[in-house]
Homo-oligomer: A and B are copies of this chain.
Amino acid sequence: MAITVVGSVAYDSIETPAGRRERCLGGAATYFSLAASFFTDVRVIAVVGEDFGPEQEAVFNARKIDTRGIERAAGKSFFWEGSYLDNLNEAKTHITDLNVFASFNPKIPDAYRDSEFLFLANIDPVLQRRVRDAMPQAKLVAGDTMNYWIKDHRPALLEVLKGLDVLLINDTETKMLAGNNNLVQAARAVLAMGPKALVVKHGEYGATLFSGTAAASAPPSLRSGASAEERVAIGMNPFRAPALPLEEVVDPTGAGDSFAGGFFGYLASQPEVTPAAFRRAMFYGGVMGSFACERFGTERLQQLSHKEIDERFNLFRELTHLD
């Protein structure tokens, strides 16, 4: 089933211990849609400036991604410059020029309206909600956010969370959103805000899926020390997917968005969204995130083959399975 994604399409200048790239194609919606395009049809809603040309367009076309929802506006595209010289796990932002993105008002092409899957990438929660409300036919809605929205736009964000099936954020964001430094307690609190499932991304250590409707109502007696059955009974059903130990992380930019693309793309490709499909989706998320890190920008995702994805999925299984 088709996915519509709303988010940024941007230019990034990136410096890592492996080198430097100027103005490569980036943005959350770009990484997400490239990763998801290996699993299902993807449609993008974004805004770009006059600097977005045929070369960039071709990257989407090569993966059969629908770009009719990418609006061209007068001015320049969103530009980000950052580095990872001290710490590959955390970008240091040097420049953020919103440019045409500052007045982004998502417009949804009629051809997108039958999308059953909707991904709200990390943008202003007011816009996330507007797109969600405009696409009531979407059966499964997932989204991302970041510290800025959690800290300074909490009421709008909480409205978005109420309508989400899956929220994908990292450890720090989870703890910040919940105001709780214990990951399990924080996950429980976030699930009580609305999302039916929470994917917490741990960077090089993988990701954990928390889900279950009983999450918000676990009795206090079911704390640590509870037996295995009791823990399972609390309904959080945690599932941990690994990240691949990589010989060289060339550029971690977009790894989280690529994870989301692999995760949600795989789910959308399945006849039914079952717990087993969710688990495999976590692995495909890790698979696509690991590829994204291997080259600068979207280079690796652009060159990827289905065979490589299958091989790496099997590698993830070997990496984690006892038998």
Interface residues of A in 204-238 (CB under 8 A from B): 204-206, 208, 210, 222-225, 227-229, 231-232, 236, 238
- Shortest Cβ distance from A234 into B: residue: B247
Closest to A320 in B: B320
A224-262 contact mask (Cβ, 8 Å, vs B): 1 or 0: 110111011000101110100111111000000000000
Q: Is A61 an interface residue (CB 8 A)?
A: no
Interchain nearest-CB distance for A247 vs B (Å)? 5
- Which stretch from A144-152, A153-161, A179-187 is at the chain B interface? A179-187
**Are A247 and B185 in touch, CB under 8 angstroms?**
yes
Q: Is A279 an interface residue (CB 8 A)?
A: yes
Residues of B near A224 (CB, < 8 A) are 246-250, 293-294
What mask results when residues 259 to 299 of chain A are scored 1 for a CB within 8 Å of chain B, else 0? 00000000000000000100110010000000001110000
- Specify the chain B residue showing the minimal Cβ separation from A310: B228
B311 touches A227 (CB 8 A): yes
Residues of chain B lying within 8 A (CB to CB) of residue A205: 202, 205-206
Partner of A322, one of B204, B227, B280: B280
Interface residue? A308 (CB, 8 A) = yes
What is the chain B residue whose CB lies nearest that of A17?
B181
**A315 with B231: in contact, given A182-B247, A248-B182, A276-B323 (CB under 8 Å)?**
yes
Q: Which residue of B lies closest to A86 (CB)?
A: B181
Is A321 touching B319 in the complex (CB atoms < 8 A)?
A: no
Cα A184 to Cα B244 in complex, Å, equals 10
A312 interfacial contact with B, CB 8 Å: yes
In the complex, whether A318 has a CB less than 8 A from a CB of chain B is yes
B206 in contact with A240 (CB, 8 Å): yes
Q: Is the CB of B245 within 8 A of A242?
A: no
Q: How far is the CB of A62 from chain B (nearest CB, A)?
A: 19
> Within 8 Å of chain B (Cβ to Cβ): is A317?
yes
Contacts of A228 in B (CB 8 A): 308, 311-312, 314-315
A-B contact pairs, 22 of them (CB 8 A): A182-B246, A183-B245, A184-B246, A205-B205, A210-B245, A222-B247, A224-B248, A224-B249, A225-B294, A225-B295, A228-B308, A228-B314, A229-B311, A232-B315, A236-B245, A238-B245, A239-B318, A276-B323, A279-B322, A280-B322, A283-B322, A321-B322
Chain A positions within 8 Å of B, measured between CB atoms, are 88, 181-185, 187, 202, 204-206, 208, 210, 222-225, 227-229, 231-232, 236, 238-240, 242, 245-250, 276, 279-280, 283, 293-295, 300, 308, 311-312, 314-315, 317-323
Which 5 pairs from chain A and chain B are nearest by CB? A228-B311, A205-B205, A240-B242, A224-B248, A224-B294
